[in-house]
């Protein structure tokens, strides 16, 4: 029956396969977009500064991204979506929150 999938709190149970299928592709624990973004930032800073110590920024940025990814596996994707669409949307007053699709 349909009631088999509900707990006593009437919430759906977690199925690990669904979480695994919706998780973004990662490189050492962070999404590929974030890893490429960090590599570009570190590369640009390295080119302009001409100092090898700037390459040590990448592990720090990667660790920050990994911590955010552990906290919520869609956090970085949501941040990139906000950067792409803007922080505030026009229909905020109608929906009471940011809705990126009409």
Residue at 75 is within a domain: yes
Read off the pTM: 0.63
Q: Tens digits of per-residue pLDDT, 67-88?
A: 888 888 778 887 887 777 776 7
Residue at 67 is within a domain: yes
Cα distance between residue 39 and residue 17, in whole Å: 31
Residue predicted with more confidence, 5 or 30: 30
Residue at 76 is within a domain: yes
pLDDT of residue 83: 79
Q: How many domains does the chain contain in total?
A: 1
pLDDT for residue 31 is more than 70: yes
> By residue range, what is the domain housing residue 52?
24-95
Residue at 41 is within a domain: yes
pLDDT of residue 14: 64
């Amino acid at each position: 029956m349909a009631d088999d999938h509900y707990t006593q709190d009437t919430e759906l149970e977690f199925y690990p396969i669904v979480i695994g299928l919706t998780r973004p592709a990662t490189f050492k624990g962070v999404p590929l977009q974030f890893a490429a973004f960090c590599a570009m930032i570190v590369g640009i800073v390295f080119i302009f500064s001409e100092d090898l110590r700037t390459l040590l920024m990448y592990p720090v940025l990667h660790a920050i991204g990994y911590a955010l990814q552990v906290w919520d596996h869609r956090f970085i994707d949501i941040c990139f979506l906000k950067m792409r669409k803007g922080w505030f949307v026009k229909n905020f007053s109608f929906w009471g929150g940011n809705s990126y699709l009409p």
